[in-house]
Amino acid sequence: MSNFVPKKEHLREVLIHYFILKKSAAESYRTLREAYGEHAPPQDPCERWFKRFRSGAFNVKDKGRPGQPEKSEDQQLQALDEDACQTQKQLAERLNVAQQTISDRLQAMGKVLKEGKWVPHQLNERQMENRKVISKMLLHRHKRKSFLHRIVTGDEKWIYFENPKCTKSWVDPGQPTTSTARPNRLGQKTMLCVWWDQEGVVYYELLKPGETMNTDRYRQKIINLNHALIVKRPEWARRQGKVILLHDDAPSHNSKPVKDTLKDLAWEVLTHPRYSPDLAPSDYHLFRSMAHALSEQHFKTYEEVENWVSEWFASKQEKFYWDGIHKLPERWEKCIASDGHYFE
């Protein structure tokens, strides 16, 4: 395949071949996906073409339809690179055609809808190498004897009272999307502190507006977390292996009083490379899911945020948390394969 990009007529002719061989539309779709990847058409169009073939229509060229954009309108659609964040509805109103017409044309042009993403950090060579080395070490340890069931991980996240929706845009497959400004950092917000394992949330606290994490506060939260583990995870007392804490190296996390407290508790701190949210379950799993749920949420009071967070945690089943922790080996492998670069 390499750089070969099939035209839609070519794909339809391949479908005729499969039709003559008496393959089903679903089977033909799966074969196309395996051969052409993202360039293959969706299954629904394959079903429609097979229906045409059964009626004796084997012309693979598109028929003109009422309301179909003229060539000049196609050129306007090509101008999406100037403003790729327009919705189908906006484009239909702009071109004075049906929304389904816009959908058909975008599909014919090979456009896909992607949501913009935040850029974590500009990594340098040393940081990328460090990410790769640590990922190799952790993956090797996991393969020798899994320790994922012993991990308790946590972090802090700002919960904003006003949450804009991340922009989606129409792009060519494999191309980046447009970025969206983060919520106003100076707007009203409160900090969520949460620790969890493969079974669920062990302990969390929502700081009062204006409060931030510092050494004394984080040390106290670790003590509170230990008490919560004794109550919620009594099996820890019977285990030979103690807690493995996975947190980043924020100043409040890495201070001497906190290190002394963790030493007194006999907890192991799992090595974690700097600037690596894609290797931290709270970032790539818990907070990402929470961010989607927060999209377009508008809170008026701290109590509303508190209730929302409590209900959201309660809505998640144990498998959600298990998946978040057990994705770690796969993500270590991806980090190694990408030579320490950030990966999708």
Does residue 147 have a pLDDT over 80?
Answer: yes
Supply the DSSP string of 223-252, one letter for each residue: HHHHHHHHHH-GGGGG-SS--EEE----TT
Delimit the CATH 3.30.420.10 region(s) of the chain. Answer: 125-337
pLDDT at residue number 166: 62
Task: Please count the other Cβ atoms lying within 10 Å of the Cβ belonging to residue 307.
Answer: 12
Contact predicate 155/283, CB 8 Å: yes
Q: Which residue has the tokens 């028929």?
A: 63
The CATH superfamily label for domain 125-337 reads Ribonuclease H-like superfamily/Ribonuclease H (3.30.420.10)
Nearest Cα to 163, choosing from 182, 178, 179? 182
Task: Look up residue 298 and give its DSSP letter.
Answer: B
Q: What is the mean pLDDT of residues 284-299?
A: 92
pLDDT digits (tens, 9 = 90+) for 197-238: 999 999 999 999 889 999 999 999 999 999 999 999 988 777
Q: Where in the chain is the domain with CATH 1.10.10.10?
A: 66-110
Q: Is the pLDDT of residue 71 over 50?
A: no
> How open is the CA angle 202-224-190, to the nearest 5 degrees?
80
pLDDT band at residue 40, thresholds of 50, 70 and 90?
Answer: confident
Tell me the CATH architecture of domain 66-110: Orthogonal Bundle (1.10)
Confidence check: pLDDT of 79 > 50? no
From the centroid of its chain, how far is CA 102? 28
Encoded amino acid at 147, one letter: F
> Given a cut of 90, is residue 305 above it in pLDDT?
yes
What's the pTM?
Answer: 0.62
Whole-number Å distance between alpha carbons of 318 and 198? 7
**1-61: CATH topology:** Arc Repressor Mutant, subunit A (1.10.10)
pLDDT at 287: 96
* Close Cβ partners of 88 (under 8 Å, ≥ 6 residues apart): 99, 102, 103, 106
Helix, strand, or coil here: 192?
strand
Q: Delimit the CATH 1.10.10.1450 region(s) of the chain.
A: 1-61
Q: Which pLDDT belongs to residue 1?
A: 43
Least confident of 175-179, 247-251, 337-341: 175-179
Residue with the larger pLDDT of the pair 254 and 83: 254
Residues 241-245: what's their mean pLDDT?
A: 88
